Structure 1
Amino acid sequence: MSTRVVGALLAVALLLLLAVPVVARRAEQAVPAGAATVIIVTPNNEQIRVEFAEGFAQWHREKFAAPAQVIWNMPGGATEIRRMLEASATASLRDGSAPGGSADLLFGGGSYDFEQLTKPITVEVNGEVRSTTVLIPIDFPQEWLDAVYGQNSIAGRTLYDPGRAWFGTALSAFGIVYNAEMLQR
């Protein structure tokens, strides 16, 4: 086979390799101006973000007959996000500004990080003690929580914060795969 043919085949293979992600990617739909927007901070991967964003947009369209979009903010993993939010709240307390930010929702991560975000953050500025929490409780009716979650516990872990500052949205399991033959050796 000549070097020209090999070169051409390699070029075609490279083009195909580059084209697959472009063709496979879901087409982004334009969101009309003025559409409702929710800003979500998350450590979740693209697949989860796409599925939840599409589900939210569809639910919003059906419920309110209006378009909506999710704007994702992904500053790192769950622990990095927790540290960022704690640092932001601490800075707000120190400079006397109102704690908070531009995000509407924190979505993803484990219950440990959410439990940490319910703890008070306290600073002292010129003898004045200032305190806040990152998460703000939401007062959902207990009847609704019972209908959605049932008992607030699985294997000794709560599914939502009893103080209603965070709510679990998914359960996941992790396992160990092993080679039985190697284990017997």
Structure 2
Amino acid sequence: MRKFVLGLAVLLLGVAVSAQDKLVLVSPHWEGIQREFEWAFQSHYRKRTGRTVTLQWIDVGGTMAILRYIRTNFSKSPKGIGVDIFWGGGIDPYLQLKREGLLQPVKLSLTILSKLPKTIAGVPLYDPDGMWYGAAVSGFGIMFNKAVLKTLKVKQPKTWEDLTNPKLFNWIAMPDPRRSGSAHMMCEIILQAYGWEKGWDILAKIFANSKRVAPGSDEPVTDVANGEIAAAPSIDFYAWAKIAEAGEELLGFVYPPKLTIINPDSIAMLKGAPNRKVAQIFMEFVLSEEGQKLWLLPRGAPGGPKQFTLARMSVLPHLYEQLKGQTIIKVNPFKFKPGFRYDSQKGDRRIDVLNSLLGAFFITPHKDLKAYWQRAIKDGRKVTFKSPVSEAEVMRLADRWATDRKLAAQKETEWVRLAKTLFAR
């Protein structure tokens, strides 16, 4: 058996080495997405071109780490960094990279483009200049453990504000927005849905209730499923995957009504892509019916994934009716009605400065924040966390943050010191 496995490994390695074409991708997507799309694309590519292709996935961490990786490497090599595709991580990073001139346009075939709506729930689904396209759709909400909440005698959460309940102290987990794109998006959604001041107060209390701040957005979901915490902000497909494993009698997920958004998870070709023709075919495959069915269908279904159920929402509206009764997705995002207008341009502009601000007040001094909140709960005091920086000031800083590192470092140090002073009172 060992010889057989070794021989198979050598054979597969030989196929990879001798492949006629190549595609290099950087992505925060988990292994299941990478493998399923790789296998399906290799088959599609051979049928379309008569050639073989190998996919090289560069793993540098979450979306924010990828953004730093792309910028750093382009600063050293302005014409190209040897990477063809950036895939995953919402929409805001792509708006930034477009503004910085680090993407190159891709003109999709009319067959594909004609099936893509321009917007979804008020949010752009693709760039009018062809710089990026929504490859899947994600929503943001709250995952919770019904058994733990019952033990704590706390009602199942329906809104973001429900996560500030003092009874949930040490029973919440937040992912780090500085490392996770979906975590950053959830913070931005709360700030825009409630307004800057109330949103800041809610975010402060959610972080204060958190047992820990996790590096990635998947860890809190696992903790909820294991019963280590009661609830956590979550991207929908992470929650659905756990619910499918553990059952709806144990776990639940809710979109806060009129307080959240549906957002495209994007794909783009980087400037100077070394394998541009292959990258174009890959993007068209991802956005085709063949590629989009991989999101919706369960593993083993005809036209679906082979080993991993991906449980994500498609960007093609007609597939929801076409695959009715076959897909495990019970939500049609094109019928989703947002309760507020999400400003993606604002979110894009302030992504870096906002992450620094959240890190300085909620993550670096997390122990101090928790101790302050715990004392207030014990004393029965009502606390309102006021933002130390106005939204207008954040937007002014945003335009200089990425280029003026001296200013950024100075402000971050100032904010951390202020946070420790506030929470020590």
Calculate the TM-score normalised by the size of structure 1: 0.66
Q: Percent same amino acid at aligned positions? A: 29
- In 2, Cα distance between the equivalents of 1:55 and 1:34? 16
Give how far 1:144 is off: 4.1
Give how far 1:145 is off: 5.2
Who is 2:324 aligned against? Answer: none
Root-mean-square deviation (Å): 2.7
Who is 1:138 aligned against? Answer: 106
Who is 1:40 aligned against? Answer: 25
- In 2, Cα distance between the equivalents of 1:147 and 1:63? 21
The letter for the 1-side match of 2:12 is Q
Q: What SS is found at the alignment partner of 1:85? A: helix
Shift in CA distance, 88/52, structure 1 to aligned 2, threshold 3 Å: same
Q: What SS is found at the alignment partner of 1:81? A: helix
Who is 2:70 aligned against? Answer: 85
Q: Tell me which stretches of 4 or more aligned residues in structure 1 moved more than 3 Å.
A: 27-30, 143-146, 177-181
- In 2, Cα distance between the equivalents of 1:35 and 1:165? 27
Calculate the TM-score normalised by the size of structure 2: 0.31
Shift in CA distance, 61/146, structure 1 to aligned 2, threshold 3 Å: closer
- In 2, Cα distance between the equivalents of 1:177 and 1:43? 21
- In 1, Cα distance between the equivalents of 2:40 and 2:19? 19
Shift in CA distance, 107/73, structure 1 to aligned 2, threshold 3 Å: same
Which blocks of at least 5 consecutive residues in structure 2 are unaligned? 157-166, 168-425
- In 2, Cα distance between the equivalents of 1:88 and 1:34? 27
Give how far 1:35 is off: 2.4
Who is 1:128 aligned against? Answer: none
Give how far 1:174 is off: 3.5
The letter for the 2-side match of 1:164 is G
- In 2, Cα distance between the equivalents of 1:76 and 1:176? 24
Post-superposition Cα deviations, 1:138-165, rounded to whole Å, max 9, x if no partner, equal: 2336x4454231x210011111111211
Q: What SS is found at the alignment partner of 2:24? A: strand
Post-superposition Cα deviations, 1:8-66, rounded to whole Å, max 9, x if no partner, equal: xxxxxxxxxxxxxxx9xxx7834261421111111111111001101110101211222
More contact order relative to length (CA 8 Å, sep ≥ 6) = 2
Is the counterpart of residue 72 in structure 1 residue 38 in structure 2? no
Highest CA radius of gyration, 1 or 2? 1
- In 2, Cα distance between the equivalents of 1:99 and 1:66? 28
- In 1, Cα distance between the equivalents of 2:139 and 2:24? 28
Tell me, yes or no, if the aligned pair for 2:19 and 2:54 is still in contact at 8 Å.
no
- In 2, Cα distance between the equivalents of 1:138 and 1:56? 18
- In 2, Cα distance between the equivalents of 1:46 and 1:104? 19
Who is 1:13 aligned against? Answer: none
Q: What SS is found at the alignment partner of 1:118? A: helix
Is the counterpart of residue 99 in structure 1 residue 84 in structure 2? no
Q: Matched residue pairs, number?
A: 142
Who is 1:176 aligned against? Answer: 142
